[in-house]
A and B are shown apart, each in its own frame.
Chain A
């Protein structure tokens, strides 16, 4: 009778009612079932499990591992071509392992990295809404601010991991292909390998901070729509528009207000006398934009009617 042999054994019914008869939920003073505590809901470990098992997460991380190999291979192919231009990417990239990392970060930091951050942050709540599982999480209950926070922290952990994974793999590939020589900065300074590694570590920290605005915006869009694609795509779109505006010279100083304006400030870290001013401004800009978007997201989520 039942499809696919799906049916409830009468014995199961007895088990349940027996359990229900014996088990009487104790009630805590706040009205909750004993054993429930808002502070224990949706622990980071649990949320990470939920996310890491997703194919999407696995594919993104796999791609980040693959990318440095693709770049290295394309340089190998490119070197066979006698007409290639010099003085550009290739010269810089193949100078040493660290320079390969610099190139990898350079080519990925305008589009790929913001997209990954947008994916982790923009998808996290919107996808729960699209699966209809958000309402059950909220009714569990996971307080809304806590759900948002735990989701944000998990997305943050995944993003930072992704941001660190790319240069780490690139460093391995770079050292294997181009050796652990001196790192050459875009402005033509040379520094020892160890300094270069430290510089790259700081660069990853800066990029992570600078992408806070992406995280905040993605989060805001994620709680504003039930379509994950809308949240991720919207964030990437804003990032691209900001980068386009940044290219328009007549805007002059106005471009300093663009959230992507200081995205490349980490390049200053390659210098021996590090100029912190751009990075400080970039941090400030990212904090302000990220903070505003985060507050908007929290406010929107708090007052939102969950109808998905």
Chain B
């Protein structure tokens, strides 16, 4: 049993390492099973008519990703502007792993597809996509709703998102769709106007004016069109948007990058046909040139843009639609998806709206959102999983950032307000103040205020330090209207509205181009422009100098405005991102109404389901801990062992052995017995095993073999019988920060025994430390600690007092006193065990002695007995052999034996004087005569070597 426990002790650390290695291995093994399965795809080129009645064809390159099991529903995954089928490779693989057949293709004019970009024209790109639907209808791998009607969902981001809307509006074979960060009306996206003469209905949270004759969004338009010229995609967001619960920095999604070589052997796309129009159709090219040079769009241009926008067909969409729009998007804002949602809802389609913390300025959908899109497809194409419903989700970005990442939460509401009859968005009114101000438009519209940097926005939006400094209003070019500090938090969700008055400030042009933005101003004056978005508007000014009154819809955004913060409405004359007015002008701007109407959409935070597993884990862990405690308690109870016959014997040691793991045996087969009233000396040189033996008596060290009984009770660690032992072993042990007296009192308090039994005063007097007893122990000398420790051992007047080398560190008078204390203590009916390596010490103090050497018993008995050697006499002589003969001749003397320079003999009553006379008479020179000192012999023999 003890051998076993020793073995266990030795193997604890290796066993721990093995267990850890097994756990790590197990985790690695189970995880390595999660490695993504490879997805194969087939490439095919499909020809489609160049235009509806044309004989010419364009070649569309496609890839068909196949899942493990077919037939399966299909997903058509369209790419963004400037991309190709390679830029959606990763997402396609993800869908395929979820068990969908995935069709990706390069739209005409992109990638290796031929043809010219017609901006998602219903007659061209949409026809191409219908051709792809036909293709899916012929594939055996694709599940069918009917002959030639595949079970298919369409998704895509930006340009691809618009295509999904157009395709769903045109072709009813599409079963569901998820357009991501896309536009409703390209004319409004590139030429927005946020002002209306009369306020519009505010049923939905992010509805904006969509007025005619907008302000040209110069920077974005340029980037957008240059993507079509050069096939280098600056318009698609880079990286992924942050998501809830995610803390690490985003890794750029390499395979989402343009020219990404998703298995396509690294070939470059064909060199774009150079020329002013790039790969655009002449119509599109002409329209862009017109707008870019004049800053205004003519009616045919607007027609062209509108015809290739989802707005043209969205009122035909009845398929379940999940609209995903970004909160960090200055290209296609929240108002675009709002408009689409209204159209689809009016047509009777089911709409779910998701605003995520990304967009063209903030990143692609992250893993969780892509998973959500796949869940939507799973439910609507296969009926798998829970119904994603038709709710509204938006992501709220907190002000707090740790390690560069904003904290996010997602809020859900059962529906997007304002879609169904009667429901409307809750709006809070915030009072603005500010007198009429004059804002000047500089000649050429330069220098201009800065709100955002398109194309770079996604990198910048993640750095609060930069993005907050990015927004810059130039003095003299802006009118500012502030609110009071908010009394409680307002969670702005959508587009606020305000009514403004604008009048001529001098004799200049008949219209004003202005930019309205709403800042969140913190208590220390730091301004944050939510989403970095501005609302441009163009307003005609009455020539008589009177004011024009307009209702301006501010840009849609999600922003928690904390209590104590202010809202600041800034109306500036310029913005870097737009085509500003060229003519110098001055405008008088004032509030038509002091009310700013702020939309709020109360909802619940998304919380992950309650982790039942972890809860069970807690219960099981608690039960295991309680169980372990109970088992340990029973095992302790079982360990009690007492022998009533030995109840009166203070100490019995039987066959005691202590072997340490290193192979050292400190005590070997030691047996002795200490009777009542003895002062027993444990004598032995240093390292004889005395201290180890005493520690075993105190239950501090576990014996390897044998056992110890104190008053009949077998000693185990913490056995109650130990309360009858007072001990001092190998040095004092005090709390250095407490005084000697406090140490003794607290020690006694720790034993839990009644204070009346302690006899602290008597013990302290024995220690005799005087006033030093009230000093901290750390100031004591070695001798003082020693005396205090002996006093501590005597607390409670124990029946058995064990002192290990008590004389160490004491001076001779103190040693003398201590001997007296021990003798008198034993005389008062107690038992004392003293260990020492000094013979004289034991002889003078003890009544009995046990001599140990190298862990073994050498001699045991009364000190007088052992010292006197049983009546033998030693003669130190010059000739031991001669003396031995003389002694043997004497009557009565026997047991004569020689030693070096001495003869020992048992006198048996013969007087030593007679023997001495005989020796002298025989001519033997006698040096010394005396009792034989066996103890000394034995001891010297031991220590002498």
A interface residues (Cβ-Cβ under 8 A, vs B) = 1-9, 11-13, 15-21, 23-25, 27-28, 30-33, 35-43, 46-47, 49-50, 53-55, 79, 85-89, 91-92, 94-95, 106, 128, 131-146, 181-182, 184-190, 249, 253-254, 257, 267, 271-277, 280-281, 283-284, 287-288, 291, 294-295, 298, 300, 302-303, 305-307
Contacts and interface: CB of A to CB of B under 8 A. Distances in A.
Contacts of A306: 695, 700-701
Nearest to A39: B752
Given A6-B787, A46-B746, A303-B9, 12 more contacts: A7-B814, A12-B765, A33-B723, A37-B752, A87-B401, A135-B698, A137-B747, A138-B717, A140-B722, A187-B398, A284-B614, A284-B618
B751 interface: yes
A186 B400 contact: yes
A28 B723 CA distance: 11
A70 B94 CA distance: 51
A246 B257 CA distance: 29
Contact of B625 (A31, A128, A185, A294): A294
A50 B735 contact: yes
A32 B720 contact: yes
Nearest to B725: A139
A142 B711 CA distance: 19
A145 B631 CA distance: 13
Contact of A137 (B491, B712, B750, B767): B750
Contact of B700 (A135, A281, A294): A135
B32 to A, nearest CB: 12
B794 interface: yes
B811 A2 contact: yes
Contact of A20 (B27, B564, B797, B814): B797
B699 A142 contact: no
B721 interface: yes
Given A36-B723, A288-B617, A7 B817 contact: yes
7 contacts: A4-B772, A6-B770, A85-B465, A189-B409, A275-B608, A287-B618, A305-B701
A36 B750 CA distance: 11
B799 to A, nearest CB: 6
Contact of B609 (A21, A40, A47, A277): A277
B890 interface: no
Contact of B829 (A21, A49, A181, A300): A21
B239 to A, nearest CB: 14
B751 A140 contact: yes
A60 to B, nearest CB: 14
A267 B244 CA distance: 13
B732 A132 contact: yes
B720 A28 contact: yes
A24 B829 contact: yes
B482 interface: no
A273 B604 contact: yes
B362 to A, nearest CB: 16
Interface of B: 5, 8-9, 12, 27, 31, 248, 251, 396-402, 407-409, 464-465, 468, 488-489, 491, 522-524, 526, 528, 560, 562-564, 604-605, 607-611, 614-615, 617-618, 621-622, 624-625, 628, 632, 636, 640, 642, 695, 698-702, 710-713, 717-725, 727, 729-738, 746-747, 749-754, 757, 759, 762-763, 765-770, 772, 781, 783-784, 787, 792, 794, 796-799, 811, 813-814, 817, 820-821, 824-825, 827-830
B399 A87 contact: yes
B824 A140 contact: no
Contacts of B401: 87-88
Nearest to B753: A35
Contacts of A146: 718
Query: Which 4 interchain pairs have the tightest Cβ spacing?
Result: A40-B752, A190-B489, A143-B718, A32-B720
A17 B398 contact: no
Contacts of A7: 768, 813-814, 817
A92 B400 contact: yes
A255 to B, nearest CB: 10
Find the residue from B489, B717, B799 having the highest chain A CB count within 10 A. B717
B724 A188 contact: no
A25 B524 contact: no
Contacts of A39: 752
Given A131-B736, A281-B614, A8 B821 contact: yes
Contacts of B828: 17-18, 20-21
A294 B610 CA distance: 28
From B248, B564, B711, B763, residue with most partner A Cβ within 10 Å: B564
Contacts of A272: 605
Residue in B528, B733, B762 whose Cβ sees the most chain A Cβ within 10 Å: B733
Given A134-B733, A136-B727, A33 B796 contact: yes
Main secondary structure of the interface of B (DSSP, over half): mixed
A35 B796 CA distance: 10
B712 A274 contact: no
A5 B770 contact: yes
Contacts of B407: 185-188, 267
Contacts of B794: 16
Given A136-B733, A136-B792, A277-B609, A32 B721 contact: yes
Nearest to B407: A186
A79 B763 CA distance: 63
Contacts of A9: 765, 768
Nearest to B781: A3
A133 B750 CA distance: 12
B767 A8 contact: yes
Contacts of B491: 188-189
Contacts of B814: 2, 6-8
Nearest to A43: B752
B825 A131 contact: no
Contact of B824 (A6, A17, A38): A17
Given A182-B489, A257-B27, A17 B700 contact: no
Given A33-B724, A188-B407, A294-B625, A143 B524 contact: no
A187 B611 contact: no
A25 B695 contact: no
A35 B814 CA distance: 33
A50 B398 CA distance: 47
A30 B721 contact: yes
Contacts of B811: 1-3
A143 B717 contact: yes
A291 B614 contact: no
B734 A133 contact: yes
A181 B487 CA distance: 9
A12 B720 contact: no
A283 to B, nearest CB: 6
B611 A277 contact: yes
B720 to A, nearest CB: 3
A274 B607 contact: yes
A261 to B, nearest CB: 11
A141 B799 CA distance: 14
A274 B722 CA distance: 54
A262 to B, nearest CB: 10
Given A87-B401, A146-B718, A280-B610, A136 B747 contact: yes
A23 B615 CA distance: 58
Contacts of B526: 86-87, 91
Contacts of A284: 614-615, 617-618, 621
Contacts of B720: 28, 30-32, 36, 38, 141
Point out which of B640, B722, B727 has the most chain A C-beta atoms below 10 A from its C-beta: B722
A27 B798 CA distance: 11
Contact of B735 (A2, A32, A131): A131
A277 B701 contact: no
A186 B398 contact: yes
A20 B830 contact: yes
A253 B607 contact: no
